[in-house]
């Protein structure tokens, strides 16, 4: 499925694990892009439902985790652009086309502005992932009017530079994906998206949030539901790997730390200017 410079071929890659409920109200996919679903040994009928919706399904015999499954999908993909999209994100063809155009033209990792079920903007874009920021975001209750310096949002028509975006929906040119080494398979789940975006930045790819592509995302993170030792073990293990690999996200010293802080300052300055 070859594309052109102005109309790149798109491969959407979705990783499933007991995700059948996310497909119940979905319509069959439109023509014009490739949809690959990598199923991590679900015990429900996720894989069968995905096939009925028009996906090409790769079935793993065991749960290989988010990063490894995404890489497997990328190896099977034919598109010039890869869009990694969770099963609980309701993507659409116009949004895919826009993300593909922007990621190709800008040579960037780009995420849509995700929305909650009520239409409010979801905090899928973030600043530097210092541990204290992540803890505050995870545990502190936000009050009306609070401004969280860790969270970024994009209005319609705005493309905003960010430090990193959650892995629920991100697009990248296929050649750039392999140039940065794909997803890091040391991460089974959690922190792989922070790592992915920071490695992209180190290879010269900016990370952007597109306010004109707006998709609903039914976010359901296991560590935010009832307590689960398994989920928290994965969280702590991935956090350890991440902060050992990116020590400038613990102590903000050195050139890499300064570059990330400069992204934050530049983005907030541009946003303030546009508000004015």
Q: What architecture (CATH level 2) is domain 10-275?
A: Alpha-Beta Complex (3.90)
Which tens digits make up the pLDDT trace of 117-168? 999 999 999 999 999 998 888 777 654 444 578 999 999 999 999 999 999 9
Average pLDDT, the chain: 91
In this predicted model, what pLDDT tens digit does every residue of 2-31 receive, in sequence order? 555 446 799 999 999 999 999 988 889 878
Select the highest-mean-pLDDT range: 142-151, 187-196, 231-240, 264-273: 187-196
Output the DSSP codes for 151-186.
EE---TT-EEEESEE-TTEEEEEHHHHHHTTSS-TT
- Residue partners of 227: CB distance under 8 A and separation at least 6: none
Helix (H, G, I), strand (E, B) or coil at 81: strand
The pLDDT tens digits for 207-230 are 999 999 999 999 865 445 555 668
- 3 CB burial (10 A radius; 0-12, 13-18, 19+): middle
pTM equals 0.91
Low-confidence winner among 25-34, 87-96, 174-183 (lowest mean pLDDT) = 25-34
């Amino acid at each position: 499925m070859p594309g052109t410079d102005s109309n790149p071929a798109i491969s959407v890659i979705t990783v499933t694990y007991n995700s059948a409920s996310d497909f119940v109200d979905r319509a069959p996919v439109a023509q014009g892009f490739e949809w690959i679903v990598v199923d991590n040994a679900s015990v429900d009928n996720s894989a069968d439902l995905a096939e009925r919706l028009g996906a090409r399904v790769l079935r793993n015999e065991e749960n290989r985790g988010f990063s490894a499954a995404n890489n497997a999908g990328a190896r099977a993909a034919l598109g010039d652009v890869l869009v990694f999209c969770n099963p609980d994100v309701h993507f659409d063809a116009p949004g895919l086309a826009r993300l593909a155009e922007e990621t190709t033209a800008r040579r960037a990792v780009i995420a849509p502005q995700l929305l909650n079920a009520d239409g409010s903007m979801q905090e899928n874009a973030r600043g530097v992932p210092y541990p204290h920021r992540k803890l505050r975001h995870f545990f502190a209750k936000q009050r009306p009017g609070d401004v969280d310096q860790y969270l970024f949002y994009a209005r319609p028509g705005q493309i905003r530079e960010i430090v990193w975006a959650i892995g629920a929906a991100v697009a990248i040119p296929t050649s750039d994906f392999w140039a940065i080494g794909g997803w890091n398979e040391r991460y089974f789940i959690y922190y792989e998206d922070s790592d992915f975006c920071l490695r992209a930045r180190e290879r010269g790819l900016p990370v952007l949030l597109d306010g004109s592509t707006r998709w609903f995302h039914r976010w359901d993170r296991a560590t935010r539901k009832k307590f689960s030792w398994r989920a928290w073990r994965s969280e702590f293990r991935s956090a350890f790997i991440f902060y050992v690999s990116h020590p400038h996200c613990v102590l903000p010293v050195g050139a890499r730390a300064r570059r990330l802080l400069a992204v934050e300052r530049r983005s907030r300055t541009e946003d303030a200017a546009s508000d004015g």
